[in-house]
A and B are shown apart, each in its own frame.
Chain A
Amino acid sequence: MAKILIVDDAEFLRMRISKMLIGDGYEVIEAENGALAVEAYKTQKPDVVLMDITMPEMDGLTALKEIRAIDPKARVVMLTALGQESVVLEAIKSGARDFVVKPFERERVLSAITKLLA
């Protein structure tokens, strides 16, 4: 059973993605900011991380870099409401493996995870 870490400060969005992934048989853990995501990554070793970009405490790009420093093979998919090239480009340069623009389609999120787990 693959374990997915969902990182987003919006409780509603975490709930939506959790519901979707649990329905598809994934184990889900959640974090509401980048700092908590880094801690969760260390202790729970998720298979894939879905990471929002704009968050309080620690933003998604910083958390991505910290997670990749802990585990250079970390599989992180960025979730962004902005969808702007510069943000996405920086995330990819920093080691993000994919990105999904909100509002996301269920199939797009699931295919991003499936591809990384293959």
Chain B
Amino acid sequence: MSNVKFMNPFVEAASEVLKAEVQAEVRRGTLSLQKASLTTDDVTVLISLVGEVQGVVLYGFSVETCLAIVSRITEQEFKEFDNLAQSGIAELGNVITGRATIKLSESGYRSNISPPTLIHGRGIQISTLDFSRIVVPLVTEFGDIVVHLALRESPPGAGDHNFVPISIP
């Protein structure tokens, strides 16, 4: 399975989770392959995968999109991106990635995921060094969610090591 083929489980998982959680339809935007550092949007959720698929997945949001999503999920208005809202967005990334790993597992690629890390701050440079990322914008009524996938099939004997380096200067 090539790197690109790992994309569909994440797009499907995001569509299913957003439909279940916020009754939103998701449309896939234009794909791109990026090697340069990504410059963060307001909020980035980072989750690592280890196992037969290894690497990192990053989900980028604007604060407005985050607030709209957590407000819809809880049916109460969030005006600030406080700890509770941050917990909600991290959990959303966690659930999407968890569901994607089920789909990957069904294709014969078992993996486990790390707890989510949330980066709050626009303009931070995150590099996967020389490892290219597939970038998939997901267009929703709440705003775009940009998914960055730096994943590949593990080499034999790699075990539970994550070989994709991350650098945040």
Contacts and interface: CB of A to CB of B under 8 A. Distances in A.
Given A15-B74, A103-B95, 17 more contacts: A9-B115, A10-B88, A10-B90, A10-B94, A11-B84, A11-B87, A12-B88, A12-B91, A81-B95, A81-B97, A81-B113, A83-B99, A84-B102, A84-B105, A84-B112, A102-B91, A103-B21
Interface string A6-27: 0001111101100100000000
Interface string B92-105: 00110111011001
B113 A82 contact: yes
Interface residues of A, number: 18
Contacts of B98: 80-83, 102
Contacts of B74: 15-16, 19
A105 interface: yes
B31 interface: no
A10 B87 contact: yes
B124 interface: no
A62 interface: no
9 contacts: A10-B88, A12-B70, A81-B99, A81-B113, A82-B101, A82-B112, A83-B98, A102-B94, A103-B20
A84 B90 CA distance: 20
B136 to A, nearest CB: 20
B20 A105 contact: yes
B83 A11 contact: yes
Interface of B: 17, 20-21, 70, 73-74, 83-85, 87-88, 90-91, 94-95, 97-99, 101-102, 105, 110, 112-113, 115
A13 B101 contact: no
Of all A-B residue pairs in the complex, the 5 with the closest CB atoms, nearest first, are A81-B98, A12-B87, A12-B88, A11-B87, A10-B91
A91 to B, nearest CB: 15
Nearest to B17: A103
Nearest to A56: B115
B168 to A, nearest CB: 21
Contacts of A105: 20
Q: Give the residue among B21, B73, B85, B99 with the most A Cβ atoms within 10 A.
A: B99
Contacts of A13: 87, 91
Interface string A94-117: 000000001101000000000000
Contacts of A82: 98, 101-102, 112-113
Contacts of B85: 12
